[in-house]
A and B are shown apart, each in its own frame.
Chain A
Amino acid sequence: MRTTLVAVACLAAAPFLAACTENTDSNAGGAADTGNPRALSVESTDDGCQVSAAEAPAGTLTFDVTNTGSQVTEFYLLGEDGLRIVSEVENIGPSLNREMTVNAPAGKYFTACKPGMKGEGIRADFTVTAAQDGSEAPTADDQQLVDQATTNYAAYVKDQADQLLAKTQQFVDLYEQGEDDQARTLYPDARTHWERIETVAESFGDLDPKTDLREADLEPGQEWTGWHRIEKDLWPEKARDYTPLTPAERATYGDDLLANITTLHDRVQGLTYTVDQIANGSRGLLEEVATGKVTGEEEFWSGTDLWDFQANVDGARVGYEGVKPIVEQKDPELATELDSRFADLQQLLDAQKSGDGFKNYSQLTPEEIKALSDAVNALSEPLSRLTAAVLS
């Protein structure tokens, strides 16, 4: 899922309080006319930034931003220092309309439109007054939770990349030496560490096709390399007229895989993450399960799909648990639901365990596959709300 982690439509520099959704109701431009003091409209032109009011009571504020200019614009709510981004909405094309929702405590702020995304923007003072109705927004001191989540997740990815590199080295050695039984045993184990961080690994568009491409996805003329090329050589039973790779060819493919995994390992060392990226990554990992693993398409030759399945779920759960303290504050019901759905899915997976690993996919009954798929859907639906909850 090469796009999941990186193509986030509303990447936010300080995402904790930010949210951005498109407003599909094009008539909502007059939100400020509805009498709700927390519903504001903004018109961003090429040289102006008309906000419908200069103050609002504390609580959840909605800015309905319409771009009537000729270039892409952004809208910000900045802190009193004019530097801290409290909330932002990006990529508003000409004549388009986006909504920004933010929980703002009482205080002094700036609003800013940034037509052409240049400069410090067209700013105006904005005041959030103490709420009369008691709906005071939480203060923004949960930055600590955000820092904790992002630090932990970066450490997790690095740890998995370390283990991936070590086990890939072992796997490639065994494969190149012709120790096929041991290589077959290590294959799903080594890949577990890839699958746990798959959304990060796949975000490198140059490495992903070289390492994880399946035969069916080859482009005309493209050379097939990576995990699944070796998989077919180790499990050729389903192949027709298959010619085993020679030792020299094994060395070529093995060395190539190791080189690419080494590059991946090096690249993740410096990566940092935002909480919305972590939450989106969790969703993306379950998407991987739904499209490739639960259907038995990922490991066509080896049938080791359930190892990948478990690893994707592991990665999703770690991502979720990292941001869970935030979710528990913002949407405790969602946290409860996710806990229980993760547990339900894990229970089904546990039932398919065999020794240190899992049954072969071919041993699953249609009923068992259906039950797993249902559990993936049941978990994926609330998980698809995770990012919005974290950012709310």
Chain B
Amino acid sequence: MPAHFSRRALLGGGAAAAGVAGAFVAGRATEESHAAAATPSAPASYPFRGAHQSGITTPAQDRLHFAAFDVITDDRDDLVELLQKWTDAAERMMAGDPAGTVGPVGGPSNLPPDDTGEAIGLPASRLTITFGFGPSLFRTDDGSDRFGLADRQPAALRTLPHFPADNLDPARSYGDLCIQACADDPQVAVHAIRNLARIGFGTVSVRYSQLGFGRTSTTSVDQSTPRNLFGFKDGTMNIKAEETDDVSEHVWVASGDDPKAEWLAGGSYLVARRFGMTIEVWDRQPLGDQEAFVGRTKDSGAPLSGGGEFTAPDFDMPGSNDTTIIAPDAHVRLVHPDFNDGVRMLRRGYNFVDGTNPLGGLDAGLFFLAFVRNPDTHFIPIQTKMAANDALMEYLKVNGSALFAVPPGARDGEYVGQALFA
């Protein structure tokens, strides 16, 4: 058995990776028919390297494993070395290869393998791995500069303010570093986080992680709009990768946006919020009320002012009872760009169910992930308004929250975030 083989090679019976690509796609047609149907033109895998990190405008995959880490060393070199190792491992895993150079079964029998092996035989599954840096990497709460990065901290990279209805659990919030792994197969996403965490032991400690299923947004026009756990289509208005002008305007940090943090140009900010849903109470709301809270029909996702899913809502259309047909506190109205200075977010949220709570209710909700050019303009004002006024907030409890700066993509020969440490 060769010392270095790819998971695809295993699937293809040891033929060269390029040679098995066709068979691999054909084989996947049945096992992943759901995901394949959602993104008919998606390639089998995505490249790790490029101007931007993968996993942002990439068509949202169906599964998520997100992890936040605390850095437990004071040594800047150790931190850099970890980012180099993570870069190598991420590049390999996204290509469908093992995390290490030896692989899960190729090494000596008296050593643990450098890949954990649960992805043997699985395709790349369109895995994307996205890295981010939290505010606490630059400066601790008491202001100390941990790694000589404080003068390069982006102005907008701070602990998010307290929002109404936030009831944050520190063990589900914050973090010095984060990794978002998305894939069409949960085992592949978990495999990625598990191996990256393992590589980091001694340098970082896992602070929390979150599994997600059922992407709740759409980042490509090729995708159909999925549903959240309230049963409503979610992400109808999301920025799509094909809307390149909007992506440039609302997602990527531009050169000059923050003179202290020029290293972030081409990157983005990642907002992660764990919205618990009081599922049982929601399920007892009459259909008409549910639709009034959202401002859309549950069936087609059309705005209550009529048309189809993608028809622009008419917020002025009068309704019965001397009010507009889309209520003043309807979710669709409060978050709409028309009422938020035209800003849009690129969301990549996922449904989650983490078993049940002590009262027997589902510990379920939406793990909200949004990529924005500037949280001060593109997230905080909208979340403040939503938390105070949105009818849906009666059924939401936020218990996790974090903000990260997502560096641009790593070019050939670079490690992720290299410009920050240069």
Interface residues of A (CB under 8 A from B): 1-3, 7-11, 20-22, 24, 26, 67, 71-72, 74, 90-91, 93-96, 116-117, 216-220, 283, 287, 290-291, 294-295, 366, 369-370, 373-374, 377, 380-381, 383-384, 387-388
Contact = CB atoms under 8 A, between A and B. Distances in A.
B164 interface: yes
A96 B317 CA distance: 14
A216 B388 CA distance: 12
A220 B307 contact: no
Contacts of B43: none
Nearest to B300: A26
A91 B164 contact: no
Contact of B359 (A26, A95, A295): A295
A281 B291 CA distance: 19
A3 B327 CA distance: 11
Nearest to B287: A22
Contacts of B286: 9, 21, 384, 387-388
5 contacts: A1-B394, A93-B303, A94-B307, A377-B280, A383-B284
- In the complex, which of the residues A67, A74, A94, A383 has the most CB atoms of chain B within 10 Å of its own CB atom? A94
Contact of B289 (A8, A220, A369): A8
Contacts of A295: 359
Contacts of A369: 358-359
B302 A95 contact: yes
B382 to A, nearest CB: 14
B329 interface: yes
Given A11-B321, A74-B320, A95-B302, A374 B288 contact: no
Instruction: Please provide the 3 A-B residue pairs with the shortest distance between their CB atoms, ordered closest to farther.
Output: A9-B288, A94-B306, A90-B320
A93 B320 contact: no
Interface in B317-369: 317-321, 325, 327, 329, 358-361
Given A373-B359, A373-B361, 14 more contacts: A1-B394, A3-B293, A8-B288, A9-B287, A24-B299, A72-B319, A90-B319, A95-B306, A219-B163, A219-B164, A219-B387, A287-B281, A377-B280, A380-B284
Contacts of A2: 394
B299 A26 contact: yes
Contacts of A377: 280, 360
B289 A291 contact: no
Interface residues of B, number: 47
Contact of A290 (B280, B289, B305, B317): B280
B88 interface: no
B358 A96 contact: no
B358 A291 contact: no
A219 B319 contact: no
A11 B319 CA distance: 12
A95 B308 contact: yes
Contacts of A71: 317-318
A369 B321 CA distance: 41
A176 to B, nearest CB: 29
Interface string B128-166: 000000000000000000000000000000000111111
B335 to A, nearest CB: 17
B280 A217 contact: no
A10 B287 CA distance: 11
Given A7-B289, A217-B165, A283 B305 contact: no
Contacts of A1: 394
A324 to B, nearest CB: 20
Contact of B394 (A3, A95, A219): A3
B397 to A, nearest CB: 8
A220 B325 contact: no
Interface in B364-422: 384, 387-388, 391, 394
B288 A22 contact: yes
B360 A374 contact: yes
B288 A93 contact: no
A72 B318 contact: yes
B304 interface: yes
A91 B299 contact: no
Given A9-B288, A72-B319, A220 B161 contact: yes
Nearest to B330: A7
A116 B306 CA distance: 13
Given A7-B292, A218-B164, A219-B387, A96 B360 contact: no
A117 B288 contact: no
B167 interface: yes
Given A90-B319, A220-B384, A283 B284 contact: yes
B298 A24 contact: yes
Given A7-B327, A219-B388, A291 B278 contact: yes
Contacts of A7: 289, 292-293, 327, 329, 391
A351 to B, nearest CB: 18
Contact of A94 (B165, B287, B305): B305
A22 B304 CA distance: 12
Nearest to A89: B320
B175 to A, nearest CB: 22
Contacts of B388: 219
B125 interface: no
A217 B164 contact: yes
Nearest to A369: B359
A274 B360 CA distance: 35
Given A1-B394, A117-B320, A384 B288 contact: no
Given A93-B303, A287-B281, A366 B358 contact: yes
A75 to B, nearest CB: 11
Contacts of A3: 289, 293, 329, 391, 394
B297 to A, nearest CB: 7
Nearest to A372: B359
B330 to A, nearest CB: 10
Contact of B281 (A96, A220, A290): A290
Interface string B157-196: 0000111111100000000000000000000000000000
Nearest to A3: B391
A198 to B, nearest CB: 13
B305 A93 contact: yes
A105 B293 CA distance: 35
Contacts of A9: 286-289, 291-292
Contacts of B325: 72, 91, 93
Contacts of B289: 3, 7-9
B269 to A, nearest CB: 19
Contacts of B166: 216
Contacts of A366: 358
A220 B319 CA distance: 33
- In the complex, which of the residues A2, A369, A377 has the most CB atoms of chain B within 10 Å of its own CB atom? A377
Contacts of A219: 163-164, 384, 387-388
A106 to B, nearest CB: 29
Contacts of B391: 3, 7
A323 to B, nearest CB: 16
Nearest to A70: B306
Interface string B88-107: 00000000000000000000
A287 B282 CA distance: 9
